Structure 1
Amino acid sequence: MPESISPDDLRRRIIDADDADHHELTALIDAHGTPLVTDDPDDPDRQRMLFTWWPDRTQALRDGKEIAGVYVWVNRLTDKEHADAGLMSRIRGTEIWFAEISVPRDTMAGYRIYPFAADGPGVTDGKVAYSRAVVAHAHFDTRNPLVRSKSPFGSVAQGAAAPALDHWIGPHEATVTDTTGEVAVEAGAPIRYRLSIPDTTDPTPINLLITFDAEKWSDRYQLAHVLEQHHRQGRLAERYAVLGVYSPADSGDRLRFLGGNREMLAALTSAVLEEVHRLLPAAPAATVVAGQSLGGLAALTFGAWHPGVADRVLAYSPSVWFRPGLDARPVEVSGRQEWIHDQLRTAGPDSLPQLHVAVGDFEGELAPNVADAVDTAGEAGFPVSFRTYSGGHDDCWWAAMLLDDLAATGGPDLPDDTDTGSPT
């Protein structure tokens, strides 16, 4: 049984270790869980996150090569131009690697660990250049509390004031009936969807939530079950059926499917919704459209092109860099693209849905461009709220925002909405 030790004392043992006892120190870290979060003595609004890793039989390099280094990828905190912050140091006399970053107290970020060989993907002269290949070769931190709890989000680092993700951890007891279908789209990939309807014996009216990337939100994250259980526990006043629209697996196909696809959205608002309304026990009391990243862009264009269909649009980290003709995400996304602004300006003044838009403080060049789009939407007459959060381009934050916006509580866990309905 490892000795009881405070987080600050454990941190000192790791940071100041000199020929530490590997087994003793790993037992202490394992008992505590990772990352180790402590207050930053230099700034009361920040905390230090200390990430650790050591090999075991299931995590050694598959090809048997020697470990040249270890990199911790923390969403938008140690990637891209910040990749060096994720390179871990080894404690002398042990196989323990560590790296520490200082972050705001409400930070939340998904992360993975990448032990690499000298010739591993993305590795040059012992340093790691961030890429999707690097993330693909990294693995979840098995000592993270959320991984141990079987969270669908994998390993997540959370500051003391970060929102909780407990509601997403199964098993979920709610009863949900699923129907899948497919509708052809003129000159493009068909719409494949999954409609999840909660128990209809409950007399509470059922709203409709339309979300993109159903392979994540409907399948992996079990959104309909989470929402129904949330309702049963009194955390969500309204009930929701969830219409999840699947995205193509290929990144280029996904871009074409969700980016500026009038034919897809026309089929969604006609043939698909006609079938959905036929399956629902009654016409939905309200319709909400939600999306993240490219799905967030699709949600915004849904609201602009079909403003009378949705009552609210929730768009998180929308890909406002999109312009027609793209086959892949451009390398440079810092410049403002007028395309989404033009769609918002021409939406027309009648029956505009409420827009709830959010972007992460750590998203670099995307954040000011999303703020610009919010300003344009307000000037065009959309009732719109905008907020930022201490995170990056990250499913865990989008999940927390989604529950908060659907509950419409403006609770203390998340940043307060800033009403921008009138241009400033």
Structure 2
Amino acid sequence: MRIPTPDLERLTGDELFWARVRRGGTPLVEDLGDGTCAVTFLWRGEQAPTLAVNRLGEAAMERVPGTDVWHATYRLTATHRASYRLGTGGPTPGAAGGDGRRGDLTGGVPRGNVTGGVPRGDVAGGGPFGGLGPDPLNARRLPGRWGGQDASVFALPQAPAERWPRREGVVRGTVVHHDGVRVYLPATDLTGLLPVLVLLDGDMWFGGLGFHHTLDTMIAEGALPAMAVLAPEAADNATRWRDLTADDAYLSYLADDLLGRSRWPITSDPGRTIIAGQSLGGLTALYAGLRRPDRFGRVVAQSPSLWWRPGMAHTVPKTPVGGVPWMVEQYATARRGPISVHLDVGSHEGPMVGYSRELRDVLRARGRAVSLNEFTGGHDYACWRVALADALAR
């Protein structure tokens, strides 16, 4: 919900105020004492800027009269984490919010027609707000992808902590690039077969996100056993659409080639093999557990694209699936297999929340081990990178 901004007309002429802003960064956060915070974004310049927060849509910022200062303040739940972009470039022409809808904020949710919680272009690097960029007053960044602009990140005081950040003094594993796959090997004597994680969209995770630093810390602190990670890259959105929509050829590559013919010392035990993915990658992780439980015993599906069904055109934005999602139907009729499934979904992902709950209930009714984490946020690597570490540590 948009709320009045604190007394910026008085503060913005105070150089001590700007010194504090430069030192502490933006957005400015005020605890309102009721489980919510006033979150104020700032911009300086003559042109009117646009603010775009992941899954909350776009908003025009307001000018402090007689100054070059622009602002927008929202009331958000104190557990919220999100990426955002702002600037005077404006959204990509014809683009809507991260899920294919426009709108201002009402309680942190866009007003108007909710069109299925489906991202435009899935998780493309530039996204719908490709004309915008990171906040120059915020040093916390989320890397762009495929040449897209970086975004900035905020986490409110009660957001889940990043428990395993990069730490100095931790022995580092190694990351090598082999045939379109990022391969992480832990810093340990390789005297036996390692448990293995197949992590989709490896270019993102082992590029700007630097997930190898998280793995180093988790292994050093005993939150994870020493493990290998095989992380296939995606060259572009067209590649993701081709490979990550329940494609049997790609699944065979993952199970039989990437794992089955691996040159690295990894286990063949499905109980020690995890597959994890986000968005369409989450859909693929679920499909792998469904079709190849002989190879994948643990599934981590973050914001899985449960709106997808066979025959759907690769165009955006998407419409709600209507009825029971296809992947839910598959699990409802499949033979019970010895797999466990962990689901993550953001509270601002619209119908995706209901789809994820429906899948959880079906899995539970079928006697499968399943857990669901609903975080306060959207369809967002800023949230997924924290939740993935937590899921792996379970």
**TM-score of the aligned structures, taking structure 2 as reference length:** 0.81
Q: Output the CA distance in 2 between the equivalents of 1:317 and 1:123.
A: 21
- Work out whether 1:155 is the aligned partner of 2:152: yes
Question: What residue in structure 2 maps to residue 45 of structure 1?
Answer: 35
Q: Output the CA distance in 1 between the equivalents of 2:343 and 2:275.
A: 12
Question: What residue in structure 2 maps to residue 287 of structure 1?
Answer: 273
Of residues 60, 63, 73 in structure 1, which corresponds to 2:52? 73
- Larger helix proportion, structure 1 or 2? 1
8 Å Cα contact 2:12/2:18 also seen in 1: no
- Give the 3 Å change call, closer, same or farther, for CA 395–168 of structure 1 in structure 2: farther
- Work out whether 1:176 is the aligned partner of 2:173: yes
8 Å Cα contact 1:293/1:318 also seen in 2: yes
Which amino acid in structure 2 is aligned with residue 333 of structure 1? P
**TM-score of the aligned structures, taking structure 1 as reference length:** 0.75
Of residues 229, 235, 245 in structure 1, which corresponds to 2:217? 229
8 Å Cα contact 1:114/1:134 also seen in 2: no
Question: What residue in structure 1 maps to residue 7 of structure 2?
Answer: 13
Q: Output the CA distance in 1 between the equivalents of 2:127 and 2:393.
A: 37
Q: Output the CA distance in 2 between the equivalents of 1:144 and 1:281.
A: 41
Q: Output the CA distance in 1 between the equivalents of 2:193 and 2:23.
A: 46
The Cα of 1:123 is off from its aligned counterpart by 9.5
Question: What residue in structure 1 maps to residue 373 of structure 2?
Answer: 387
8 Å Cα contact 2:302/2:345 also seen in 1: yes
- Give the 3 Å change call, closer, same or farther, for CA 337–229 of structure 1 in structure 2: same
Ranges in structure 1 where 5+ consecutive residues have no aligned partner: 1-10, 56-65, 183-191, 409-424
Q: How does 1:16-415 map to 2 (within 5 A)?
A: 17=9, 20-21=12-13, 25-40=17-32, 44-55=34-45, 67=47, 69-77=48-56, 79=57, 83=58, 86-116=59-89, 121=93, 134-147=128-141, 154-165=151-162, 167-168=164-165, 174-182=171-179, 192-201=180-189, 206-232=194-220, 234=221, 236-249=223-236, 251-276=237-262, 278-280=263-265, 286-325=272-311, 326-333=313-320, 335-336=322-323, 338-351=325-338, 353-408=339-394
Q: Output the CA distance in 1 between the equivalents of 2:226 and 2:166.
A: 19
Residue aligned with 1:76, SS: coil
The Cα of 1:245 is off from its aligned counterpart by 1.3
8 Å Cα contact 2:196/2:266 also seen in 1: no
Question: What residue in structure 1 maps to residue 116 of structure 2?
Answer: none
Give CA deviations for 1:317-375 in whole Å, capped at 9, x if unaligned: 10001111222344313634542123213432232x11011211111122112211222
- Give the 3 Å change call, closer, same or farther, for CA 349–227 of structure 1 in structure 2: same
8 Å Cα contact 1:252/1:328 also seen in 2: no
Residue aligned with 1:227, SS: helix
The Cα of 1:213 is off from its aligned counterpart by 0.6
The Cα of 1:141 is off from its aligned counterpart by 1.1
Residue aligned with 1:247, SS: coil
Q: Which has the higher contact order (CA 8 A, sep 6+)?
A: 2
Give CA deviations for 1:350-405 in whole Å, capped at 9, x if unaligned: 32x11011211111122112211222222333211112111110101111111111
Report the structure number with the largest CA radius of gyration: 1
Give CA deviations for 1:167-201 in whole Å, capped at 9, x if unaligned: 4558895433344444xxxxxxxxx3222211232
Which amino acid in structure 2 is aligned with residue 45 of structure 1? G
Sequence identity of aligned pairs in percent?
Answer: 27
The Cα of 1:133 is off from its aligned counterpart by 6.3
The Cα of 1:244 is off from its aligned counterpart by 0.2
The Cα of 1:129 is off from its aligned counterpart by 5.3
Residue aligned with 2:87, SS: strand
